[in-house]
Amino acid sequence: MLELKNIHKTYRMGQVDVKALDGVSLKIEPGEFVAIMGPSGSGKSTLMHILGLLDRPDTGEYHLGERRIDELSDNELSGIRNRLVGFIFQQFHLLPRMTALQNAELPLIYAGKRHLKEKAKEELEEVGLGERINHRPNELSGGQQQRVAIARSLVNNPFIILADEPTGNLDSKSREEIMAILKGLNAKGKTIIIVTHENAVALQARRVIRMLDGRIISDDKQGTQIPARQETSENVTDPVLSKSESKARQTEFFDYLRQAASAMSAHKMRSFLSILGVLIGVSAVIAMLALGEGAKASIQKELASLGSNLLVVRPGSPRVGRVALESGSATRFTFQDVAAIKKLTDVVEKVAPAVSGRGQIVYANKNWNTRIEGVGVDYASIRAAHPQVGRFFTQEEERLRDKVIILGTTVARELFGEANPVGETVKVNLLNFKVVGVLPAKGATSWHDQDDTLLIPVTTAMYRVFGKEYIDAIYVQVKSPELIQAANGTISELIIKQHRLDKNGEDTFQIRDMSDIKNALESTTRTMSLLLGSIAAISLLVGGIGIMNIMLVSVTERTREIGLRKAIGATNKDVLAQFLIEAVMMSFIGGSCGILLGAGISALITFFAGWAVKVSWFSINLSAGFSLLIGIAFGMWPARKASQLDPIEALRYE
């Protein structure tokens, strides 16, 4: 069943090379009960580790059945350990956070046989622990813990049981019980190999191998050997897993998840602190980006009040020598200019002339001094000024110079309070006007209240109120943002031609592009959002570093656990996945709670500070994705470190 040929193994102890095995050759037949004896340092434990595929020889050959296995990969060796070998350790190596049943189930997880967990219960009942299956190791005696370890070694029905000093930590009664169990297993056809320094234990075996200084000095058989089971000799001939078997033993994701959750619950405070770091980082990102989005929304609202794709054509202030003349003294706009600009249909959507001034508006015993704007009908669309109450004046009312008026919300409030002003008559510079609408609120800045104004038809303003013959400004709505520059140049050429201006004297009029203001404000908002998000991301990064530190500590504390998992069949991938999922779980929980906390903080900022705050799906998705990325990035190193631990070194770790 097992054959070693001229096995050598040397360990490096500081500057000294220590030969653990020196030319060991050995054959083990199916169904044997073998005891390996020798003083400390004789190489007996090293021999057992090589027999159990936990360690590799430096030189020599190892055959299991008809296959040479000392050259197989780590994953292939893990599969063989899981399927063919069961380990019983002197220190038991039970996981303290798990019950006896859960400890016994562990090999099933890595065999892809979690659905056969009743098998673990049966094995515990077989070793006399049927009533203690839900007890944790600290609630069991030494003999009972060793029985759990025996049940764990049997759950995958292995062909070989390897026991390292299985009675070394037990009292005499427990020793007898454990040996009785092992002899019973051998009687059923199991191949038993034990390492012991006790003659009383060795005498119960049917073959005793004695070692000294890394060599076998005697190999004696005693008693009658148990006949090998037929399936043992047949199945052990090809120990390497086939593709179908390899696929069948793949650990399910939910098993990794359960193991990670169990590890987190076993160290609640440590896990909570790791989660807290990510939670604070994510909530800070959410709140800071919400502030940035709120500011952006406020600016967009302000920009909407200016109008979309807007150009404003105004008379300039030409200079004679170094003296600036009055605005409009060289170029005066008329309705002919408005009509000419309207004909530029390739780039122009709508045009509205405008004049402005100040005046006194009176209603009953109240009066208010405000800005008066005379505008064209298309002004409502160009400047987003459709009344929220009432209507805008019509083309016919503009043509007939009707005395109709639309009030800004500030003027309406000062004169009418909460009452509806539509249909009422007010006096503007001693002329009676009928109120037909109230403008939508556009807000106030520190230097200008956009709602402290009133609108009347441009013709009425020019010929009835101000006595003007010229237009103060022309509002032009361009068809699309891409055409703004083209429209600017076309209108400029038109005015120069229309008024026969010198091209070098373009300061006689101005064309203001509102998109420049819009772009500047949006750029400022983006910069602010980026700055706030970057500051918050730093705290999230710190949370990630905290997870990495905690996971590194966890790997150190759980080194022996990692060795145990590898001994019972866990591959490097299994260990990597478990620790990585644990880090991602902490990051995910922290991210999820951080999103809720960040949204709550944003709501509190709005409630108490009155700032505009907007939590966007983009910020939620960004924070969630970044927190998961943090978990993967900062969990990968500890997980990889855990997966690369040597099982023997891990089991020996103190």
Q: What is the 3-state secondary structure (H, E, C) of 612-647?
A: CCCCCHHHHHHHHHHHHHHHHHHHHHHHHHHHCCCH
pLDDT band at 175 (very low <50, low <70, confident <90, very high): confident
CA distance 24 to 36: 13
Checking if the pLDDT of 243 tops 50, the result is no
Checking if the pLDDT of 224 tops 70, the result is no
- Both tokens of 279, joined, read 């939670």
Residue 614 contacts by C-beta under 8 Å, 6 or more apart in sequence? 290, 293, 294, 296, 297, 602
Give the helix ranges, DSSP H, for 218-377: 230-235, 243-248, 253-266, 268-306, 335-342
Contact 539, 283 (CB under 8 A): no
Average of per-residue pLDDT values in the chain: 83
pLDDT band at 505 (very low <50, low <70, confident <90, very high): low
- Both tokens of 451, joined, read 């709602």
Other beta carbons within 10 Å of 90? 18
- Both tokens of 624, joined, read 């969630």
CA distance 567 to 185: 20
Integer angstrom CA distances of residue 326 from 18, 175, 335 = 103, 113, 21
What letter would DSSP give residue 421? -
Contact 483, 348 (CB under 8 A): no
Residue 200 contacts by C-beta under 8 Å, 6 or more apart in sequence? none
Checking if the pLDDT of 292 tops 80, the result is no
pLDDT tens readout for residues 58-106? 899 888 877 888 778 888 888 888 888 888 888 888 888 889 998 898 8
Residue 408: per-residue pLDDT: 93
Q: Which of 157-166, 464-473, 514-523, 560-569 has the lowest mean pLDDT?
A: 514-523
Give the helix ranges, DSSP H, for 236-267: 243-248, 253-266
CA distance 294 to 476: 30
Mean pLDDT of 603-622: 79
Integer angstrom CA distances of residue 211 from 49, 200, 464 = 15, 17, 122
Mean pLDDT of 527-537: 74
Measured in Å, how far apart are the chain's first and last C-alpha atoms? Answer: 34
Distance of alpha carbon 480 from the chain centroid: 39
Residue 315: which of 470, 174, 456 has the closest Cα?
470
Task: Report which of residues 305 and 41 the model is more confident about.
Answer: 41
Checking if the pLDDT of 376 tops 90, the result is yes
CA distance 499 to 330: 10
CA distance 242 to 76: 10
Q: Which phi-psi region, left, alpha or beta, contains residue 618 (left: φ > 0; alpha: ψ -120 to 50)?
A: alpha
Residue 319 contacts by C-beta under 8 Å, 6 or more apart in sequence? 325, 507
Contact 541, 281 (CB under 8 A): yes
What letter would DSSP give residue 139? G
Q: Which of 220-234, 276-290, 433-447, 520-534 has the lowest mean pLDDT?
A: 220-234
Place of tokens 């075996």: 205
Sign of CA dihedral 228, 233, 234, 235: positive
pLDDT tens readout for residues 119-172? 888 888 888 888 888 999 989 988 889 889 899 888 888 889 998 888 877 788
Residue 406: which of 378, 443, 375, 431 has the closest Cα?
375
- Both tokens of 137, joined, read 């190791």
Contact 295, 557 (CB under 8 A): no
Coil/strand/helix, residue 365: coil
- Both tokens of 432, joined, read 């009676």
Angle at 649 between CA 563 and CA 640, to 5 degrees: 60
pLDDT band at 230 (very low <50, low <70, confident <90, very high): very low
CA distance 579 to 585: 10
Specify which of 9-18, 357-366, 439-448 reaches the highest per-range mean pLDDT. 357-366
Mean pLDDT of 585-614: 84
What letter would DSSP give residue 563? H
Distance of alpha carbon 504 from the chain centroid: 59
Domains along the chain with CATH numbers: 2-248 (3.40.50.300), 263-301+520-652 (no CATH), 332-500 (no CATH)
Residue 237: per-residue pLDDT: 45
Residue 501, φ and ψ in degrees, nearest 5: -95, 155
Task: Report which of residues 593 and 446 the model is more confident about.
Answer: 593
Q: Which phi-psi region, left, alpha or beta, contains residue 569 (left: φ > 0; alpha: ψ -120 to 50)?
A: left
Contact 294, 613 (CB under 8 A): yes
